[in-house]
Amino acid sequence: MKKRNEVKIVFPSRSVNEGFSRAAVAAFVAVCDPTVEELSDIKTAVSEAVTNAVVHAYPDREGSVTVTVTVYDTNVVKIRVRDKGVGIEDVQKAREALFTTAGDDRSGLGFTVMESFSDKLQVRSKPGKGTAVTITKRITGKRAG
């Protein structure tokens, strides 16, 4: 798999950037000619990953969130959302549906939604060091249809 293109977006962990980041990723992957459905899947998964970073990574301060999008020649898209926040103690537990530590009307479905709308989801986290979520999706695109 050869890299076709890549972009890195860095922004502060403010909730107003949730909308910006999913729109930016959607614009970048447009080169793969995704269907409307595929584009919605990507926007939803990115929104969940970035929201997790905004809500959980930096409980008492503002920190940075880095989104790296890589498009491969095989029309595979990898989106990595990384923070340098508090990390996740138990990743397996965090990935369980309906589990949340946030309260405040959080559904606890973030990882479940990311899994449903991507082909592969990898979560790496170290308490005190931060979390990196990698979403992989193959774009079948309009050409295939």
Partner 1 sequence: MQIVSENETLTVYLSGEIDHHSAKPLREKTDQVLLLKSPALLVLDFSGVSFMDSSGVGFVMGRYKKAASIHCKTAVTGLKARDRKIMALSGLERLVEFR
Site string for partner 1, 58-97 (x = CB under 8 A): ---------------------------------------x
User: Looking up tokens 């009307």, which residue turns up?
Assistant: 105
User: Looking up tokens 């309906």, which residue turns up?
Assistant: 98
Contact predicate 35/145, CB 8 Å: yes
> What is each CA distance from 64 to 12, 53, 83, in whole angstroms?
4, 9, 6
Output the smallest distance, CB 15 to partner 1, in A. Answer: 4
Distance CA 58, CA 83 (A): 9
Among 40, 64, 68, 136, binds partner 1 (CB under 8 A): 40
In the bound state with partner 1, the residue whose beta carbon lies nearer, of 58 and 72, is 58
Q: Should residue 35 be labelled a site residue for partner 1 when binding is judged by CB under 8 A?
A: no
Q: Should residue 122 be labelled a site residue for partner 1 when binding is judged by CB under 8 A?
A: no
